[in-house]
Structure 1
Amino acid sequence: GVVSVAAIFMAGIIPGILVGIGLMIVAGVISIKNKYGKGVRFGLKESITKFFVAVPALLLIVIVLGGILSGFFTATEASAIAVIYALFLSVVVYREVKWSELPELFLAAGRTTAVVFMLIGTSMAMSYVLAHENIPQSISSALLGLSENPLLILFIINLMLLFVGTFMDMTPAVLIFTPIFLPIVKQLGVHPIHFGIIMIANLCIGICTPPVGSCLFIGCGIAKTTITDVMRHIMPFFLAMIIVLFIITYVPWFSMALPAALKLF
């Protein structure tokens, strides 16, 4: 069940593009329907200037993905390097953060990290209980008892993960449900890389849905609005993501093409 982190990274590129296209289509339709108008066009000179201003920030992507794919550092080490580089850009290069603001930022980051570690610790304990009580085997037997049709089983797993995502954050959900569902899908001939993308796609929808949608809460906080006001406007975007989810689920090529081309498995 262990797969390369680089393979998962590459496997997520095409599905990510599909999600982006789906969201752009919805945004375009809503924009035309509500007559939002066109954005401000930049001239060639201004576009080039803004591009060069953004180059240091864009290098962050190159550093992280390049380092992981080349094997220079692990995904965990990449996250630490990304934080240090982003801090350097914010304080020294772009000067959007003052030195005097750093203590409060570090304190806020510490609070967030503490919450994440508490969730991970709790989920690990729950995973131990699930394994000790043979619950994964019971769920596996129940699902396989319903049908041996991989299309139906994947449909049920998608529904379960979409439901789980509404009340559980991504990290504990992955830690708890991967050991449950992975043996099932492997019996049905689904590649672990493909299943990893299916699970990530499901839970990415979950982090945008209440009551535990962390991205939704952050977005509402930035926009200074309420979840109630936002929910009725984002339903078309949820529908687009769910449609793409099922396309990814039932067409493995989208997940497997790049890892196969790069011989990552």
Structure 2
Amino acid sequence: ISLYGVAELTGQMLSQVTSTPWVIFLLINIILFVLGTFLDMAATILLCTPIFPPIAQHYGMSSVQFGIVMLINCALGLNTPPVGTTQFVGCAIGGVSVGTVMRTIWPFYGALIFALALVTFVPSFSTWLPSMFMAVR
């Protein structure tokens, strides 16, 4: 990824689409969600960590905020079919069909997407508590 400059190419492609930070953050969220849907969490983190944090920091997102955004997207992706590994494992353990779970899980998806939007677009929502622990007294 470093050798071929994937982070720089991705940053250039995103900046060609728009230079508005909230649109860039929305695009990063969509990309992370799609990757999280088809890849395991570890693979998503290993692939995206060298690419997206420099882009997000360039547009004003802190590294703590980006880490939380990445983890929420991975959590959403792990529960979303067609791959949705944690959902399939949970359904197998519980003896419930995936279709039944998908019909009842929508409010939880909505809450997680709302939390993702808050973390992404309201920086103080995700950085307030860590800043309290890091404050020098």
Q: TM-score, normalised by structure 2?
A: 0.90
1:228 deviation in Å?
2.5
| Equivalent in the alignment of 1:126 | none
Distance of 1:244 and 1:256 partners within structure 2:
14
Give the distance between the partners of 1:263 and 1:251, measured in 2 at CA. Answer: 20
Partner of 2:102: 231
Residue by residue over 1:121-174, the C-alpha shift from the partner in whole angstroms, topping out at 9 and shown as x without a partner, is: xxxxxxxxx333222211111112222211110011111111111111111101
Note closer, same or farther for the CA distance 1:252–1:163 as it changes in structure 2 (3 Å cut): same
Shift of 1:237: 1.8
- Listed as ranges, the matches of 1:142-161 within 5 Å are 142-161=13-32
1:98 counterpart residue number: none
Structure 1 residue 198 corresponds to structure 2 residue 69:
yes
Q: How many residues align?
A: 136
Q: Following the alignment from structure 2 to structure 1, what is the Cα–Cα distance between the partners of residues 60 and 109?
A: 29
- Structure 1 residues without counterparts, runs of 5 or longer: 1-129
Distance 2:12 2:70 in 1: 20
How far the C-alpha of 1:197 sits from its partner, in A, is 0.6
Larger Rg: 1
SS at match of 1:262: helix
Query: 1:88-126: CA deviations, max 9, x gaps?
Result: xxxxxxxxxxxxxxxxxxxxxxxxxxxxxxxxxxxxxxx
**1:56-108 alpha-carbon deviations (Å, 9 max, x no partner):** xxxxxxxxxxxxxxxxxxxxxxxxxxxxxxxxxxxxxxxxxxxxxxxxxxxxx
Match of 1:131, SS? coil
Query: Is this contact kept in 2: 1:144–1:184, CA < 8 A?
Result: no
Match of 1:254 among 125, 131, 134: 125
Distance, in Å, in 2 between the alignment partners of 1:264 and 1:201 is 26
Bigger relative CO (Cα 8 Å, ≥ 6 apart) = 1
Is the aligned partner of 1:135 residue 2:11? no
What is the identity, as a one-letter code, of the residue corresponding to 2:93?
A: I
Give the TM-score normalised by structure 1.
0.49
Query: Any unmatched runs of 5+ in structure 2?
Result: none
